Amino acid sequence: MRIHKEGWMYCLVATLLFALFIFGVNAILGNYPFITMPLYVLAGLLWFWVFWFFRIPSRTFTTGDNLVISPCDGKVVVIEETTESEYFKDRRIQVSIFMSPLNVHVNRYPINGTVPYVKYHKGKFLVAWHPKSSTENERSTIVVKGTKAEILIRQIAGAVARRIITYSKTNDKAVQNEELGFIKFGSRVDLFLPIGTKIHAKIGDVVEGGIHTIAEFA
With a CB cutoff of 8 Å and minimum separation 6, the contacts of 43 are: 18, 21, 22, 25
Annotated active-site residue 187? The verdict is yes
Determine the distance from the C-alpha atom of residue 156 to the mean position of all C-alpha atoms in its chain, rounded to a whole number.
Answer: 8
Q: How many other C-beta atoms are found inside a 10 Å radius of the C-beta of residue 41?
A: 10
* Identified catalytic residue from 96, 133, 140, 187: 187
Residues taking part in catalysis: 187
